[in-house]
Amino acid sequence: MERLYAYRDLTINGVTVSPMYAFRGGDATLTQWVCAQTGTVLSIAGAGADPTINGYGPCLGDRSVVFNGGYATGKYFQAASADIFNVATEDIGLEGVFWLNSSTASQTHYNKRSLTVGMQIYNTAAAMSFYFQDAAAHNVALTWNFTGGVINHFMLFWNRDENSVNGMRLYVNGVISPDIGSANGFTVENISSLADKFTLGARSDGGGTRSISSLAWLTEWKCSNWFQAGAAGPAEWAIIARQRMALWTGNQALYQALGTTTPSSL
Sequence spans of domains, the chain: 2-258
What's the pLDDT at 261? 44
What's the pLDDT at 144? 81
What's the pLDDT at 253? 61
Instruction: Give this prediction's pTM.
Output: 0.90
Please state, in angstroms and rounded to a whole number, the distance separating the CA atoms of residues 244 and 173: 9
What's the pLDDT at 111? 92
What's the pLDDT at 193? 64
C-alpha closest to that of 11 among 242, 168, 221, 187: 221
Instruction: Decide: residue 1, CB within 10 A, 0-12 exposed, 13-18 middle, 19+ buried.
Output: buried
Tell me the CB-side half-sphere exposure of residue 231, using CA atoms within 13 A.
0
Please state, in angstroms and rounded to a whole number, the distance separating the CA atoms of residues 96 and 12: 18
The whole-number mean pLDDT for each consecutive block of 10 residues of the chain, a chain of 266 residues, reads: 88 96 95 96 95 72 82 90 89 92 81 83 83 77 78 90 86 86 57 82 88 93 95 95 89 56 40
Count Cβ atoms below 10 Å from residue 15 Cβ, excluding itself: 12
Region 2-258: CATH code: 2.60.120.200
What's the pLDDT at 234? 94
What's the pLDDT at 160? 84
What's the pLDDT at 24? 94
What's the pLDDT at 260? 47
